[in-house]
Amino acid sequence: MGLYFQNSTSTTVWFAYAYANSDCAAKGDPWSKTGWFMVTPHTDLKVRSGPVNGAKYFFFAENQDRSLSWGGEFFTQIPDRAFDWCWTTGSTDSRLLGMKKIIVPVTSINHTINVIGP
């Protein structure tokens, strides 16, 4: 059971994601964001354990040279280094990146977010 990132490209991809976290509610938004998770070509990586059915997540991914990226319209500050922050946390070395919303079906205790590219 869990949340997985799958890399269906021919290059290494780095992932960041956000998940609900009530500890962050006091800081203005009940979401945490964490990254970066390296996934080599044509492999997957489990990033969260336990059932994920019915949950909402956000993710952003990019390859090493940033020539490919996957994201969406939910913007937050993300640094180039490893991080585990509340959604509203930022830093002077962060980039404003758009994450894509994923809603896991209620019937799915496992979910894989797959990126496809050249």
Residue 27 pLDDT more than 80? no
Domain boundary assignment for the chain: 2-116
- E strand segments, 71-118: 74-79, 83-86, 94-103, 110-116
Q: What is the pLDDT of residues 78-116, one digit of tens each?
A: 999 999 999 999 999 999 999 999 999 999 999 999 999
* pLDDT at position 25: 85
Averaged pLDDT for residues 53-82: 96
Q: What is the CATH number of domain 2-116?
A: 2.60.40
Choose between 26 and 65: higher pLDDT: 65
> What CA–CA distance (Å, rounded) separates 44 from 38?
10
